[in-house]
Structure 1
Amino acid sequence: MCGMSSAETTAAAGSEDAQVLLELRRTISLGVARLSEEKERAPCLTESRDSSSSSTMWTTRRRVALDVLLVCWGLGTWLGVNGLFVELPVLIAGLPEGWTLPSAMVLAVQSANIGLLIYALLRNFSRVSDTHCIYGLLTIGTIALFLNSFLYTKTAFLGGTERSIAFLALTFFVALVGCTSSVLFYPYLRHYREIYLATYLIGEGLGGFTPSVLALIQGVGGEVECVLKPDNSSYIAVRPPPLFDSTVYITLLGLLSTISLISFCILHNYPGFASERVKEGAVAKEDEAAPRGSLLQPQFVGVMVLVVVLNAVNNGIMPSVQSYSCMPYGKRAYHLAATLGSMANPMACLAGVWLRPLAGRFLAPLLALSAALFGFILLTAVQSPTPPMAGSNQGAVIVICCWVLCSGLVSYGRMWVYGWSRRGGARGMRICGALGQVGSALGSLTFYALINYTTFFQQTPDCPAQTI
């Protein structure tokens, strides 16, 4: 469409050519309108029953400045959490938890779901506005990132075991933003035309893509080298340093979070976007269009179960077992699986924006494929430190591809259910967001216990022991 508009402008000097182009445009527009009937109005597969609606990604005019601000705002939701996760291949070498650090971090992140309870109490008793809550969360997350960049190495003994107390505590405050965004940020988007939901989700996805790019630039410094001590009594691990250390990396995350906060300030206060807002009466009408009884229908309940499962896998299980699944294939394999897998999330969002959304019957085979890939990932994690083809280049390529594909498919599935939940109005979206966090918490708690209190998952030492 953009190319056609440019062609019309160029042909304005010739009236005959302009007339031909105008007729051609009308013909194509009619065809697009016909193809768009009974299709999904919102990206991420929100099916629409209103054939008269013009809210399609292909025909609706939009404000580019608003798109940019929404992307920057969405960037800050999971930026800190995603950024710290892709930094784990570097962090586990210097923090005392070792391979169990990802599961401890997942537990800290899911503990931040207490923010949901705090928000509910504020909403019911003090009547604090959603806008003030968003301001507060983004500010807390930004400050926590800057503090973490300098304090992440501070440890303390807890129960006789050395723990990364500062890193995990500040990660909790960073995660407050993402965990609460599901029930706070999404409903705020209802005040804008629904075509902007996809833009926000792209920004949210970039919260994983951008840190991954930074992590790829940073690198991991190469594989560990085992060098004998001068007395030949044992080996010591020599780790080549990355391009820049974690302090610089986390500081960059703090700067990006600051951009997100500033973007929301402009987004909420700039009067020039009034035309893109949905009138209060229309918002109320959307809520009334989804009566409470409709949320108990089997189809809605089934989708909500899918929300729980997908979030348990994506946010709870996969991050917890990634070190056990990937480290036997090398530090670089772990690094690439973490960074490229994180990039798969925004790629899935872009697929939802630029490609025709899939119907539910076509989504099922994709989810089945993701289940098979997830099964292989669990197999490599449980068989650690000697999974199939451990230490080989072929094994590293296979495990990296499995992580990237599985991450992308699960992310697309999450987009589908979040978009579908819009049918339930604000209440349906809040239920979807809350159940997503419940699933994440269940997955993380279960696998934290399995990793730390059972022998299912085993860590191998960096260097073999040497006895005289």
Structure 2
Amino acid sequence: MPLYIHALACAFGLGSWVSINGLWVELPLIVNVLPEGWDLPSYLTVIIQFANLGPLLVTLAHKFCPGRLRENLAIYAVLSIGVVACILLAVFWNYTTVIFGQPRSTAFFILTFFLALVDCTSSVTFLPFMMQLPAKYITTYFIGEGLSGLVPGLVALAQGVGMSKCVNVTNVSDNVTDPGPPTFIVETQYLPPNFSTEIFFSFLAVMTTISLGAFLILNRLPRTFELSTENLVSDSDAVATVCRGLEGPMDPKTNCPEEVEQKQNEVLLPKPQHSSYQLAFIYVMVLWVNSATNGLLPSVQTFSCMPYGNMAYHLSAALSAVANPVACIIAMFFPKRSLVFLGILCLLGSTFGGYNMAMAAMSPCPLLQDTPLGDAIIVLSWVFFTGLLSYVKVMVGVILRDRSHSALVWCGAAVQTGSLLGSIIMFPLVNVYHLFKSGDICNTNCPL
């Protein structure tokens, strides 16, 4: 029975962020089809921020109507919405409508909002439900949450990406009376991947369905134990708690009763002491790291990677998705709480982010274009940027978690503020002022 419940807890955690993580790693194939093109990620970052309406409503319901909201019904609702949204996305993801004379990916944007709503709301509903189970199953649940980022990345690597080729295409004039001689233009054509985008979205629907099924069984298990300090999340699980908590819109622990939080702080660890300058440094790091990883850089990943080719973008997106849970696992077994060490990692990760941003600004003619070295550098830069800053996010969250409940609440506020600012700053720069230029591999003439 324990192994059976461990498997269910892992499968349940798998549905927490699998949809949005899957959406990001599939972008290398989507941006070549949808009319927004390279601007598409900047739209997604803003849509995901709007999806924080879900956890906000859940938190307000707990605040003003305590005891009225039942987590199990909320989980049924969000996972069911997730399954339906994934199925509809597999069918309608490339459907467009004309708005103000321009084709827009309306269906894709609407369904993305619902997927983001599901994943964001999972942060404030899944963990409170898991707190009803013994602590040994919490770790397994967080393993499932880590797999929600790892599995889509691995599947995307198996899917591959359609290699591009330049083909001479005959261009016939539309003038019927004087058609003139035919001309030739160079057109970029993409070979199909190992399996289609529709199949990939269907896979996300299956993963979400598995999570829903696991929850159905877990919710029917008899509650034959009492919640005590032995059943609380131990310090060894603190990294896992914050790892996914800071990924979401708010810290999921804010839904636990205040007295439980106080017991947890008293039993597990003494409150660490930090000066006001150290706390200011910690919150600035939280603000900056989440602004960079959730808003600034994701908005321009296409401009940073696509000039190097579809394969470079594909590897950057998929391996970055893998780097995130790997960084959480490293933080779990090798936690380093030194602020100097974390500051150095933050600076190093920001350096890689600066290189990525610089290449996006130079698009469509970045450094070392059309060279294996340039391709390798941009892929590794995105992997190290994601991995290093993910480690910093986790450890900073653990530090604040051990300090006090209110410190972690303010940490969640800083996470959301940074993510929102990054998205809002980049959206007009990309879509209004067009500071980042897209290109065509076959028709862009870059100086040697």
Query: Which range moved further: 426-435 or 307-316?
Result: 426-435
Equivalent position amino acid for 1:171 in 2: T
Contact 1:287/1:427 (8 A) holds in 2: no
Matched, 1:377 2:356: yes
Contact 1:212/1:340 (8 A) holds in 2: yes
Pick from 198, 201, 215: which aligns with 1:247?
A: 198
Q: CA deviation at 1:273?
A: 7.5
Q: In 1, distance between residues paired with 2:229 and 2:75?
A: 19
Equivalent position amino acid for 1:237 in 2: T
Query: Which range moved further: 68-77 or 333-342?
Result: 68-77
Alignment correspondent of 1:109: 48
Q: In 1, distance between residues paired with 2:362 and 2:397?
A: 34
Aligned positions of 1:284-433 closer than 5 A = 285-288=259-262, 298=276, 302-353=281-332, 355-361=333-339, 362-423=341-402, 429-433=408-412
Alignment correspondent of 2:89: 148
Q: CA deviation at 1:453?
A: 1.4
Q: Deviations over 1:370-407 (max 9, x none)?
A: 11111111111111111110121100001111111111
Equivalent position amino acid for 1:150 in 2: V
Percent of aligned positions that are identical: 35
Given the superposition, is the C-alpha separation of residues 281 and 108 from structure 1 closer, same or farther in structure 2, using an over 3 Å criterion?
A: closer
Equivalent position amino acid for 1:374 in 2: G
Contact 1:73/1:261 (8 A) holds in 2: yes
Equivalent position amino acid for 2:102 in 1: T
Q: In 2, distance between residues paired with 1:432 and 1:63?
A: 34
Q: In 1, distance between residues paired with 2:261 and 2:356?
A: 41
Secondary structure class of the residue paired with 2:167: strand
Secondary structure class of the residue paired with 2:183: coil
Unmatched runs of 5 consecutive residues or more in structure 2? 172-181, 234-256
Q: In 2, distance between residues paired with 1:260 and 1:165?
A: 28
Contact 1:187/1:430 (8 A) holds in 2: no
Q: CA deviation at 1:438?
A: 3.0
Q: In 2, distance between residues paired with 1:303 and 1:69?
A: 36
Q: In 1, distance between residues paired with 2:360 and 2:145?
A: 28
Query: Which range moved further: 357-366 or 266-275?
Result: 266-275
Q: Deviations over 1:430-449 (max 9, x none)?
A: 54444423322221121111
Cα RMSD between the aligned structures?
Answer: 3.1
How many residues align structurally? Answer: 403
Equivalent position amino acid for 2:434 in 1: T
Equivalent position amino acid for 1:88 in 2: L
TM-score of the aligned structures, taking structure 1 as reference length: 0.77
Query: Which range moved further: 341-350 or 166-175?
Result: 341-350
Given the superposition, is the C-alpha separation of residues 432 and 73 from structure 1 closer, same or farther in structure 2, using an over 3 Å criterion?
A: farther
Contact 2:135/2:232 (8 A) holds in 1: no
Equivalent position amino acid for 2:386 in 1: S
Contact 1:326/1:333 (8 A) holds in 2: yes
Equivalent position amino acid for 1:288 in 2: Q
Equivalent position amino acid for 1:243 in 2: N
Q: In 2, distance between residues paired with 1:136 and 1:211?
A: 23
Given the superposition, is the C-alpha separation of residues 65 and 304 from structure 1 closer, same or farther in structure 2, using an over 3 Å criterion?
A: farther
Q: Deviations over 1:117-160 (max 9, x none)?
A: 32234334552123322222222122111111101111011222
Q: CA deviation at 1:226?
A: 3.2
Q: In 2, distance between residues paired with 1:265 and 1:74?
A: 13
Given the superposition, is the C-alpha separation of residues 166 and 277 from structure 1 closer, same or farther in structure 2, using an over 3 Å criterion?
A: farther
Contact 2:368/2:374 (8 A) holds in 1: yes
Given the superposition, is the C-alpha separation of residues 258 and 134 from structure 1 closer, same or farther in structure 2, using an over 3 Å criterion?
A: same
Given the superposition, is the C-alpha separation of residues 426 and 209 from structure 1 closer, same or farther in structure 2, using an over 3 Å criterion?
A: same
Q: In 1, distance between residues paired with 2:20 and 2:232?
A: 36
Contact 2:16/2:123 (8 A) holds in 1: no
Alignment correspondent of 1:57: none
Alignment correspondent of 2:167: 226
Alignment correspondent of 1:88: 27
Equivalent position amino acid for 1:376 in 2: Y
Alignment correspondent of 1:175: 116
TM-score of the aligned structures, taking structure 2 as reference length: 0.81
Q: Deviations over 1:314-366 (max 9, x none)?
A: 2222221111111111110000011011101111122133x231122432322
Q: CA deviation at 1:284?
A: 5.1
Q: CA deviation at 1:418?
A: 3.3
Given the superposition, is the C-alpha separation of residues 157 and 304 from structure 1 closer, same or farther in structure 2, using an over 3 Å criterion?
A: same
Contact 1:234/1:465 (8 A) holds in 2: no
Alignment correspondent of 1:11: none
Q: In 2, distance between residues paired with 1:309 and 1:465?
A: 34
Query: Which range moved further: 235-244 or 298-307?
Result: 298-307
Structure (1 or 2) with the larger CA radius of gyration? 1
Contact 1:316/1:444 (8 A) holds in 2: yes
Secondary structure class of the residue paired with 1:271: coil
